[in-house]
Structure 1
Amino acid sequence: AGGQVASLQTYDRVPGSITSAIVRMSKSAPYQAILIADGGNAASAAVPVLRKNGMGGARVLGTELWNSESSIASKPALEGAWFASVSDGLYR
């Protein structure tokens, strides 16, 4: 579809690690979209840091992991984010 990976950052699941990854990534901003390949809790913590570091206009994308989190709709930071999902109606 013409997309291009402009930056790939990894982080550990320890306090401050995702913030450090975002700061490293922000050096080559702006981005059209940012995929957070982690659960909704990590993503909801990361989005305010993204916005604070100059990536306010980037579309936030998530994985199918977000679909299994019942509290995803109550996370204001993820409002308007897109994530992969399969309709529950496809399963018996």
Structure 2
Amino acid sequence: MTPISPTPPTTLSGVAPAKDPLRQAATDLEAAFLTEMLKSAGLGKSRDIMGGGAGEDQFGSLLVRAQADQIARSGGIGLAESLFNALKEAEHDN
């Protein structure tokens, strides 16, 4: 009989969160930034494919957030790394 090890907690995107709270905060901030950029680009807007309506718009925004989370957690655009380095530097200065 093999022992069962606990599974690590996951985020909405299904990816295990980073162990370092500063890195996690930087990644979350990059995901929020990417969400806004994707919304500005028109991703997630209702196209009336499924009849449109408020429900489609609401679920579209959830989809955009999940996509932004996945982008940020799989390397992103480098913003999280820059933020992490700046936060780490500020932490050492204090």
Higher RCO, 1 vs 2 (CA within 8 Å, ≥6 residues apart):
2
Larger Cα-atom Rg:
2
TM-score (norm 1): 0.22
Structure with the larger strand share = 1
Structure with the larger helix share = 2
